[in-house]
Structure 1
Amino acid sequence: MNITGEFSLVVDENLAPQRLDQYLSGRDGFPSRSQLKQLLRRIELNGNPAKLSAQVSAGDRVSGVVEPPVQPDCIPEPLRAEILYEDDDVVVVNKPPGMVVHPAHGNPDHTLLNGLLGHVSGLQERFQQAGDGYAAESAAVRPGIVHRLDKDTSGVLIAAKHPAAHALLSQQFADRQVGKLYLAVVKGRPRNPEGELQSRILRDPRNRKRFCAGTTGGKPAVTRYRTVASAEFGRQLVSLASLYPMTGRTHQLRVHMQWIGCPILGDPLYGRRSAAMSDGLMLHATVLELQLPNGKPARFYAPLPEHWQQLLTAFNDASAHQGSAVHPEDRDWCAAQLRSLSADREPAAQ
């Protein structure tokens, strides 16, 4: 969620002294250092007016006002994502890799939001008329968007058709009541076949497009993982891993897998784009489990992209020889996914 309006922060006691603009831009939801100059209407340090070049230290109080950026017009387009489920409150899609969720700098159109506006009649108008309550301002410029996936991450994503549904779904995400399972192909094999990764995630001071894992600063992040199978592919050892994010930090899964020495294949930020992985980032949001606005519990599965089939075949063959080293549920799931990819499926909505 992007920060707009008034904010008040207390600098973490473990944070090393740094510039005020560096501190703010490193926090989730705040704009970049260059954007801060344009969007900050007021900034105070310990109750006094301050410049962005001021030094902040542990215990300092930082407050101010961030103006929302000017949003580009979002034009309705055909929805180019497979619809997994739809009712009067929500639409659930299987987002393809390469699709941005909503317009932003460098991606003004052909986003999921463009498609939602074309698919759900009156969506924009319902959110613009939302009034007070639950961050209607941010919802109005991104109507229906409850959560996001990175551009190159594929998989299941739910959107709301009206403000009341948006509020109910957003609260579940905020309260961590949503179950999420991702599948990833990673380089090598994790040292431990399963485990829980705990760290702080903060913006990388050397490259603001990246985040990194650390012990101080940033925000706490927890990821559980399990190795499904490993196989030789393209002259390298790769593993299929199930990832369960217990928190929702930016780039969390990509950062955590790189942190343990097993970056996700095809990741240009946290690994090397392998020639064998020319289809891009091998990360897929497979399962989403939550309560629908109508009160019914629901679990949605997003089939894997077709370009995963060759790798999945290798993992399926490898799992047959690894026996008890592979969890039975994962071995069966892997085989089921292979069958589903081989079967004829209805084409995605256009």
Structure 2
Amino acid sequence: MTKYWFNRITLYTSILFLIILSACGNSSENDQVRVAEVTRSIFYAPQYVAISEGIFEKHGIDVELTTTWGGDKTMTTLLSNGADIALVGSETSIYVYAQGTNDPVINFAQLTQTDGTFLVSREKIDHFAWEDLKGSTFLGQRKGGMPQMAGEFVLRNKGINTQDLDLIQNIDFANISSAFASGTGDFVQLFEPTASIFEEQGVGHIVASFGKESGKIPYTVFMAKESYLNKNPDTAKRFTKALYEAQQWVDTHSAEEIATSIEPFFPDTELGLITTVVDRYKSQHSFATNPMLDEEEWNNLQNIMDESGELPKRVDHSKLVDNSYAEDAQK
């Protein structure tokens, strides 16, 4: 009888040990974070570095990355709980707030700090001047999106009004490049690597950078619903720390090293071209070196939106920006 109870106790102890061991194992598993990115672009190099170099994993974050192709679709995905975090232009958070919501979308970590588009001409122009746009057909970005607003901001600063050209803005974001390739427009506003690919193929020629001309703005930012941040503050904190580490990695490594790191995310693009694009963005300081979204940048964003006639209402920096995660990451 004593032996029977001894065996039972030993069995129960073993089971209990396995349960505790299993629980400990589960607690050390990474937090899964679903991220919806507005497009797949070399412009977002620090995000891909954070994944490929294991930086997110190091901070206990398992990123499930989905490309949602367009600001509207990305924000819809976030609002419908199809994603935990969105990587998209800050203007979208203002649009949502202006419509009225009990759960606003909060900008908590900035990724890029300039416009990421380039002006591409169909014909080769040896000495481009912004005046060359007058009377042309210009294939622009979607109305109400940050690329379009930053583009028009630059045009106005160069003395070009939208009435001075035939402006086309009714083509979906994902189809703009194919529309230009098929013959629509004399000029087009494009992200990389499409702009450089077109140049290699002789489809078009890069003549100017909207990023250089528009100045610093919170162009692409990680954002989440306020309810998600309130429920998952530690996850958001570790996510931002990982991002900051990746931003520093990008800032201190060469274009070649960055290109090699992010190459798996662009399987159809040659490494040399990725390197060229990274170097172009790096040289014009498009990659933010920390996740902070300061008030001056926020006001610049709203000024650009206002001048474009797209600002529904001015929103204080404190309403839709939470820099506490970025501040913690830099400690």
Normalised to the residue count of structure 1, the TM-score between the two structures is 0.27
Rg (Cα) greater in structure: 2
Higher RCO structure, 1 or 2 (CA under 8 Å, sep 6+)? 2
TM norm structure 2: 0.28
Give the strand-richer structure, 1 or 2: 1
